[in-house]
Amino acid sequence: MTAARAELHRSNPASGGVVLPMAAALPNNRSAFAARRFGASMFARAPKIERSVVSDIVTDQRRRDARDVRRLPLDVEAVAIRRALAGFARARVIRPTDNALLQLRRAVSGAFKVDEDAIFGPSRALGVTRIRQIAMMLGCVVTSATRGEVGRKMCRDRSTVWNAEKRLQHLIIGMASTVSPRGDR
């Protein structure tokens, strides 16, 4: 046997030294061997499907300075509000004895993907103030807290909470079906 032919064959000790063709033994050539033997249509490869990474509709704005946080479009804002309500509901089920307004703060910052310190800090940037107003509005609608209590937990005055409610009245009406009537009241 020549050296080239010896490379194409290998010895199988389990079968008593029978020489098998290398193409039948290699995993890379199995489909080619089977296609030749049984027909190509049986072993045709399925087309490769490219899976695109689904990007989240709410952009991640964590680790940004408060003045660099951008205001979200209205449809994205509605998605983030629903996520905040769902996160708040989960938090209330897991730990019902914790402070509801602090849980709401965490849920809103997580849903809008902005640091909690940036939202409730002293900044007056447009993107941050809008998220803060949404958090205050949800605090009044979803919990049984007064405007003064909501303002203290959100590091603001009760008149600021009242202003947020007035500005976001259309959201309260639009999201009324999302909020449970037997909420945390």
Domains of the chain: 3-43 (no CATH), 66-174 (1.10.1750)
Stated as kind and residue range, the H or E segment containing 10 is: strand 9-12
Contact predicate 24/12, CB 8 Å = no
Q: Provide the whole-model pTM.
A: 0.64
Rounded Cα distance between 160 and 100, Å, is 19
Rounded Cα distance between 40 and 43, Å, is 6
- The amino acid at 137: M
Each residue's pLDDT expressed in tens, for the chain with a length of 185 residues? 555 444 444 444 444 444 444 444 444 555 565 556 555 555 455 455 455 444 677 888 888 888 888 888 888 898 899 999 999 999 999 999 889 999 999 999 999 999 999 998 998 888 899 999 999 999 998 999 999 999 999 989 999 999 999 999 887 777 655 555 444 44
Q: Position of tokens 């399925």? A: 46
